[in-house]
RNA sequence: GGCGGUGUAGCUCAGCUGGUUAGAGCAUGCGGCUCAUAUCCGCAGUGUCCGGGGUUCAAGUCCCUGCACCGCCA
């Protein structure tokens, strides 16, 4: 028996809802898995919720629940979202499992036995009030470079400078506002440098990763592999390091091990042999991951597996991010669309088709252009692919009582034409160039449509019913081939066609057969609805409406500590005015700034606002906003800013400007 | 700042190791058909292949350089 194949998608973090960016990965992996299964390979698809780490621990703590209670609803929600998109895992598990603990400890111990785990003291910020060490994201302070206030511990959102938290002036804990102290702690490190030679070989082996990914990894290896800190101090949600009181495995150590633990669970449930996957050099393991986690999957992970004696992946397939209408998904634009919001408005098959039609197997970002989405689904999926079935099946039922005849010898060249395309589809699926596969499949549907058009059975049936029946017989065979070829992308569509044509579940070998003759087919049923652009707008509108309901992005923002009390006089010294935006324009050379010209009653002011990533200039013109009118003018590189706009948001990419629901006269004071 | 990727028709993209006149689909225009619960079939136009240098008999393709956009920096 051939060695088994195991495919994984990256584990979704149990800290938020699945969105269409996640779905890009799960859908493409699911298509690959379904294709491999259709070709008769012994394939399983493994995934799990990624449950550990600081963000979940802190969010649970803030919500007043245990981490276990916090992650539980996401486990249910994620599985429902995937199932509704026909993403069919053979097992979907969780990293917070005994199996995962066992394998995490085993791998750690084996690496330690080989001397590849070392301890070393680390000096870190520590909040005495919260009694915890503070990761970079939990410290804010003033940027050492541009003096912007309230910047994270690792990078300034205003000027883009990267630094360490110790460089900040007035650093403070985002949880309580207290000033952190420095404290030393012993951490465990995985000595990556010991694996340099191994990784160079692994990365350099053709087929392991895409060429552009290989170049990317090689630069890292060439710069020298740094040891990796794999431990965290408590409080932490994760697995305790054996022999330690309050130290835990870093989430990135146990997350990929979730692939192994899930397989263990799957094997226990199904009676399959675990070692055939993870202790078998012949086993084929594929990981599909987003480009942001390439490093973990193509360097740390193979090194860990190699050191601990587990099966190495054959391939790590890296894909890009999803953009919507050419831009990063944005909550204010309504393009941060969750899987559930999509499902509330649109059929999952549309998205599966659209993604497949655009996936090219490379690391490029994929743009979901909503206008194109409507067009492609209607023009290709509905008008070409499904329409062929709709032309021929009712025709056969009406004129021949659902019975097919024999294929006419004259269609031989057409069959050859289609058969020549099938291997190209197969190869495209194998290479994850689903766009080429879809292109060929549409072309085959066109062959069928054109043949049906030219042969005009609706005319032929009047004089030579048998000839007309032969025409239909070929067209039905085309329908079957198309359905079989598109089945990995559209399992539901294929199943519906199987039912209508009364054929057994289609396998890839059925695609080139053309032997459906003297067969009785069933009644036609509507296969797929046209996309209504209104549904798309409704989905976008709902994504805006959902803003409050969505627990802010994967990494929830901690709430800033309150400022010290002030008296009413202190407040009244802040002169807030109603202002109407007269002009808004981008500032050349500044990624984040917009230059605004506003009317504050008696005068006009020029204000620079760091909201470019959230607002297009045209969105602002005519809006009434709140301006701090007596703020000292500030000289900037691009001019003088004569005031400040009130706005709220966690960072520069997701800001909402405060405005009025009813018109106000410019210049009115706000108290 | 360092590194990587991308830049081809209005839009989305093909163009493999350099080799005729740069392609497809969508969109647009024109024509035909009517079996189709979903309209299909044919014909047609369009390009500083991001800019500038270079290598070559030959460059969208290779090299250098500049610009723009995107990403990564553990």
Average the pLDDT over each of A14-28, A85-99, A462-476, A623-637 and give the range with the smallest value: A623-637
φ, ψ of residue A122 in degrees (nearest 5): -130, 135
Q: Is the pLDDT of residue A144 over 90?
A: no
According to the model, what pLDDT value does residue A516 have? 92
Q: Are A60 and A237 in contact (CB under 8 A)?
A: yes
DSSP class per residue in A1-18: -PPPEEEEEPPPBTTS--
- Label residue A563 by pLDDT band (50, 70, 90): low
- Beta partners for A286? A7, A315
Q: From CA A42, how far away is CA A36, in angstroms rounded?
A: 8
- ipTM of the modeled complex: 0.86
Here the tokens at position A448 are: 């069928």
Determine whether the distance from the CB of A296 to the nearest atom of strand B is below 7 Å: no
Token pair of A629 as six digits:
């009118």
Q: What is the DSSP letter of A148?
A: -
Average confidence (pLDDT) over A328-349: 85
Residues A229-263 pLDDT 10s: 999 998 899 999 999 999 999 988 999 999 999 99
Residue A478: closest CA among A438, A458, A453, A451: A451
Give the pLDDT band (50/70/90) at residue A320. Answer: confident
The per-residue pLDDT of chain A, averaged, comes to: 85
DSSP assignment of A364-405 equals --EEE-HHHHHHHIIIIIIIIIIHHHHHHHHHHHHHHTTB--
Banded model confidence at residue A551, pLDDT cuts 50, 70, 90? very low
The percentage of chain A sitting over the pLDDT mark of 70, rounded to a whole number, equals: 88
User: How many CB atoms within 10 Å of residue A74?
Assistant: 21
Specify the DSSP class assigned to residue A50. B
Q: Are A573 and A607 in contact (CB under 8 A)?
A: no
CA dihedral A108→A112→A113→A115, nearest 10 degrees, is 150
Please write the tens of the pLDDT for every residue from A27-50. 999 999 999 999 999 999 999 999
Residue A262: closest CA among A243, A281, A285, A245? A285
**Residue A57 and residue A237 in contact, taking contact as beta carbons nearer than 8 Å:** yes
* pLDDT tens digits along A568-624: 666 766 778 888 777 777 665 565 677 778 777 777 787 777 777 667 766 777 777
DSSP for A288-314, written as a single string = EEEGGGHHIIIIIHHHHHHHHT-PPPS
Confidence tier at A225 by pLDDT (50, 70, 90): confident
C1' of nucleotide B34: residue with nearest CA: A458
Helices (H) then strands (E): counts for chain A: 22, 27
- Can you give the pLDDT at residue A545? 64
Tell me how far apart the alpha carbons of residues A536 and A645 are, in angstroms, rounded to a whole number.
33
CA dist A238 to A250, A260, A302, A415, Å? 7, 17, 22, 58
Interatomic distance A557 CA / B26 C1' (Å): 42
pLDDT for A441-476, tens place per residue? 988 998 899 899 889 999 999 889 999 999 999 999
Distance CA A516, CA A402 (A): 13
Paired residues of A185 in beta bridges = A122
Residue A274 binned pLDDT confidence (cut-offs 50, 70, 90): very high
Query: Between β-strands A656-657 and A647-648, what pairing exists: parallel, antiparallel or unpaired?
Result: antiparallel
For residue A435, give the nucleotide whose C1' atom is nearest its CA: B13
| A386-444: pLDDT as tens digits | 999 999 999 999 999 999 999 999 888 889 888 888 888 898 898 888 888 888 898 89
Residue A210 CB in 7 A reach of strand B: no
Between the CA of A375 and the C1' of B27, what is the distance in angstroms? 10
Instruction: State residue A643's pLDDT score.
Output: 77
As a whole number, mean pLDDT of residues A644-669 equals 70
Distance in angstroms: CA A571, C1' B65: 57
> Which chain A residues 340-379 have CB under 7 A to strand B?
358, 360, 362-367, 369, 372, 375, 379
In DSSP notation, A167-198 reads: G-EEEEETTT-PPPEEEEEEEEEE-GGGGHHH
Nucleotide nearest to A453 (CA to C1'): B41
Nucleotide nearest to A215 (CA to C1'): B4
CB neighbour list of residue A551: distance below 8 Å, 6 or more residues apart: A15, A16, A17, A59
Give residue-wise pLDDT tens across range A355-382: 998 888 888 788 888 888 888 888 889 9
Residues lying close to strand B (Cβ under 7 A), chosen from 39-78 of chain A, are none
Q: Is the CB of A382 under 7 A from strand B?
A: yes
Q: Categorize the per-residue pLDDT at A633 as very low, low, confident or very high, splitting at 50, 70 and 90.
A: low
Residues 445-504 of A with CB under 7 A from strand B: 446, 449-450, 452-454, 456, 458-459
Check whether A565 has a pLDDT greater than 70. Answer: no
Asked if pLDDT for residue A663 goes beyond 80, the answer is no
Q: Is the CB of A295 under 7 A from strand B?
A: yes
**CB proximity A216–strand B (7 Å threshold):** yes
């Amino acid at each position: 028996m051939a060695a088994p194949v195991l495919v994984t998608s990256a584990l979704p973090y149990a800290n938020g809802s699945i969105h269409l960016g996640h779905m890009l990965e799960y859908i493409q992996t699911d298509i690959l898995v379904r294709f491999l299964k259709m070709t008769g390979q012994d394939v399983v698809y493994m995934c799990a919720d990624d449950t550990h780490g600081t963000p979940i621990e802190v969010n649970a703590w803030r919500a007043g629940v245990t981490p276990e209670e916090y992650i539980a609803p996401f486990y249910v929600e994620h599985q429902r979202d995937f199932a509704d998109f026909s993403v069919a895992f053979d097992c979907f598990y969780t990293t917070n499992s005994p199996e995962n603990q066992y394998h995490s400890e085993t791998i750690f111990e084996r690496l330690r036995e080989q001397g590849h785990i070392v301890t070393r003291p680390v000096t870190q910020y520590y909040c005495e009030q919260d009694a915890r060490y503070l990761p970079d994201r939990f410290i804010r302070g003033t940027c050492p470079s541009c003096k912007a206030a309230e910047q994270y511990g690792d990078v300034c959102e205003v000027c883009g400078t990267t630094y360490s938290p110790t460089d900040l002036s007035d650093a403070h804990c985002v949880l309580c506002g207290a000033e952190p102290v420095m404290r030393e702690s012993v951490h465990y490190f995985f000595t990556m440098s010991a694996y340099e030679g191994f990784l160079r070989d692994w990365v350099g082996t053709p087929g392991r990763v895409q060429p552009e990914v290989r170049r990317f990894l090689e630069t890292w290896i060439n710069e020298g592999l740094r040891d990796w800190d794999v431990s965290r101090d408590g409080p932490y949600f994760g697995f305790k390091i054996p022999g330690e009181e309050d130290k835990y495995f870093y989430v990135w150590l146990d997350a990929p091990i979730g692939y192994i633990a899930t397989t263990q669970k799957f094997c226990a449930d199904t009676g399959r042999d675990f070692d055939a996957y993870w202790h078998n050099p012949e086993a084929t393991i594929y990981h599909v991951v987003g480009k942001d986690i390439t490093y973990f999957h193509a360097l740390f992970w193979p090194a860990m597996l190699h050191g601990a004696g587990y099966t190495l992946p054959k391939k790590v397939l890296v894909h890009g991010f999803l953009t919507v209408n050419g831009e990063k998904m944005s909550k204010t634009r309504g393009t941060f669309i969750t899987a559930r919001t999509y499902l509330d408005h649109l059929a999952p098959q549309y998205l599966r088709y659209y993604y497949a039609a655009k996936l090219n197997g490379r690391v490029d970002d994929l743009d979901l252009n909503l206008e194109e989405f409507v067009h492609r689904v209607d023009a290709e999926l509905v008008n070409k692919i499904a329409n062929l079935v709709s032309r021929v099946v009712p025709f056969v039922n009406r004129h021949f009582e659902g019975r097919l005849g024999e294929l006419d010898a004259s269609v031989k060249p057409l069959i050859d034409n289609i058969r020549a395309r099938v291997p190209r589809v197969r190869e495209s699926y194998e290479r994850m160039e689903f766009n080429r596969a879809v292109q060929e499949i549409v072309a085959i549907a066109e062959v069928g449509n054109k043949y049906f058009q030219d042969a005009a059975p609706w005319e032929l049936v009047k004089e030579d019913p048998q000839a007309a029946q032969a025409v239909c017989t070929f067209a039905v065979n085309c329908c079957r081939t198309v359905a079989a070829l598109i089945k990995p992308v559209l399992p539901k569509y294929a199943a519906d066609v199987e039912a209508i044509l009364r054929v057994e579940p289609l396998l890839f070998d059925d695609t080139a057969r053309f032997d459906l003759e003297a067969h009785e087919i069933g009644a036609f049923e509507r296969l797929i609805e046209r996309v209504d652009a209104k549904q798309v707008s409704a989905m976008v509108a709902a994504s805006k409406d959902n803003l409050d309901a969505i627990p802010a992005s994967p990494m929830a923002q901690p709430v800033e500590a309150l400022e010290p009390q002030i008296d009413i006089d202190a407040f009244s010294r802040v002169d807030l005015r109603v202002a109407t935006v007269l002009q808004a324009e981008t500032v050349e050379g500044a990624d984040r700034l917009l230059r605004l010209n506003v009317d504050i009653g008696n005068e006009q002011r020029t204000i620079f606002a760091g909201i470019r990533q959230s607002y297009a200039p045209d969105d602002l013109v005519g809006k009434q906003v709140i301006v701090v009118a007596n703020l000292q003018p500030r000289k900037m590189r691009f001019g003088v800013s004569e005031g400040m706009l009130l706005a709220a948001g966690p960072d520069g990419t997701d800001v909402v400007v405060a405005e009025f629901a009813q018109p106000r006269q410019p210049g009115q004071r706000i108290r």
